[in-house]
């Protein structure tokens, strides 16, 4: 091993990586926020009384859970525009793919959470004159949200990692900038190590908090 | 019983039955993750699809087909897993 690592290549180009990180955050935060909202609606559809609504949402969820995310992103970038006749920017395709994917996973978390609350509580709330929406908002959700927090934190972490796949459809996020720098300077070791380190720094606080939260919630139950 | 006998005869047999579903879940995740090998130009399903696409210029058909291939593979596998899980936990 005669290779001498030279990390000045990273510090010289930190602004490029920082710009990449900013784009990563711009994919990450919207897709988790919109994905969670979509997941909540999907979970309602999964628990609907009409069979065809339940069926449609089941097919949607399985489609997104049983195919690789990378293929979903590539499909939304290359195939979806042919179907709708509008060319999407790489960013729009990545955001669309990741948001829909997140909503499928989030709906499973919501569904599990809502089902874990005893049916008697919904019946009781209806019996004292609340509407279904009121019962959901005042009785079921406050309990569910607490139980689901660890699962949501995990999903948030997963989405942060998945966002690196957007580099494949040339979204200029952190991984893309890292690959670009490493092919420009022929220094993959330093640059890709630095990129991995940035992802770690971005995600580790989340994992740490999730662990603490889980312990805290376990005690308060 | 010694510690190892305790593990072998009491703990592990029960633990395995409980660990099988998460292990199977992990293996499905891994199956989906294999698609990433294509980014290193490894000739997996997705990479082949990209090759076919670059010759035919039919992304809609090509990518929809391989997405369905993964879907069929995973749905079949998860149905089998469900059967296996039912068998494994039948004693409970």
- Eight-class DSSP state of A173: S
- Number of folded domains in chain B? 1
> Is position B79 within any domain?
yes
Per-residue pLDDT of chain A (221 residues; tens, 9 = 90+): 788 888 999 999 999 999 999 999 999 999 999 999 999 999 999 988 899 999 999 999 999 999 999 999 999 999 999 999 999 999 999 999 999 999 999 999 999 998 888 888 989 999 999 998 899 889 988 888 888 888 999 999 999 999 999 999 999 999 999 999 999 999 999 999 999 999 999 999 988 988 888 888 777 76
* Residue range of the domain that includes B47: 20-88
Residue of A nearest to B59 (CA): A79
| Residue with token string 């000045």 | A8
Kindly list the domain boundaries of chain A, sorted by start residue: 8-220
CA B54 to CA B39: how far, in whole Å? Answer: 15
> Is position B29 within any domain?
yes
CA A58 to CA A107: how far, in whole Å? Answer: 10
User: What pLDDT, on the 0 to 100 scale, is given for residue B87?
Assistant: 82
- Give CA A53 to chain center in angstroms: 24
Q: Is the pLDDT of residue B90 over 80?
A: no
CA B31 to CA B3: how far, in whole Å? Answer: 36
> Is position B33 within any domain?
yes
Chain A, window 53-72: residues with a beta carbon less than 8 angstroms from a chain B beta carbon: 62-63, 66-72
CATH of domain A8-220: 1.10.3720.10
User: What pLDDT, on the 0 to 100 scale, is given for residue A110?
Assistant: 93
> Is position B4 within any domain?
no
**Where is A197: in which H helix or E strand?**
helix A188-220
pTM (2 d.p.): 0.89
> Is position B3 within any domain?
no
Closest by alpha carbon to A71, among B56, B48, B81? Answer: B48
What tokens were used for A45? 């559809």
Question: Looking at beta carbons, which residues of chain B come within 8 Å of A83?
Answer: 60
pLDDT bin (cut points 50, 70, 90) of residue B92 is low
CA B4 to CA A200: how far, in whole Å? Answer: 38
Question: Looking at beta carbons, which residues of chain B come within 8 Å of A74?
Answer: 46, 63
């Amino acid at each position: 091993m005669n290779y001498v690592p030279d990390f000045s290549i990273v510090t010289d180009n930190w602004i490029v990586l920082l710009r990449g990180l900013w784009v990563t955050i711009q994919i990450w935060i919207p897709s988790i926020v919109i994905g969670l909202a979509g997941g909540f609606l999907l979970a309602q559809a999964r628990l609907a009384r009409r069979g065809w609504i339940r069926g449609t949402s089941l097919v949607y969820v399985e489609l997104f859970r049983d195919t690789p995310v990378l293929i979903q992103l590539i499909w939304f970038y290359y195939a979806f525009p042919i179907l709708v006749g509008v060319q999407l920017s790489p960013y729009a395709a990545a955001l669309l793919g990741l948001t829909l994917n997140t909503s499928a996973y989030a709906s499973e978390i919501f569904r599990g959470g809502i089902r874990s609350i005893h049916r008697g509580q919904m019946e009781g709330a209806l019996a004292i004159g609340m509407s279904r929406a009121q019962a959901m908002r005042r009785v079921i959700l406050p309990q569910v949200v607490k139980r689901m927090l660890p699962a949501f934190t995990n999903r948030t972490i997963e989405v942060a990692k998945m966002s690196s796949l957007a580099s494949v459809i040339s979204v200029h996020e952190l991984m893309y900038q890292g690959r670009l720098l490493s092919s420009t300077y022929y220094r993959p070791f330093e640059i890709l190590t630095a990129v991995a380190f940035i992802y770690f720094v971005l995600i580790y606080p989340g994992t740490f908090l999730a662990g603490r939260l889980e312990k805290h919630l376990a005690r308060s139950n | 019983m010694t510690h190892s006998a305790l593990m072998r005869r009491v703990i592990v047999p029960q633990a395995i039955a409980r660990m099988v579903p998460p292990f199977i879940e992990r293996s499905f995740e891994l199956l989906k993750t294999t698609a990433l090998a294509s980014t290193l130009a490894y000739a997996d399903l997705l990479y082949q699809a990209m090759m076919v696409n670059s010759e035919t210029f039919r992304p809609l058909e090509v990518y929809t087909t391989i997405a369905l291939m993964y879907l069929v593979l995973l749905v079949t596998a998860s149905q089998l897993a469900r059967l296996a899980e039912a068998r494994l936990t039948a004693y409970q």
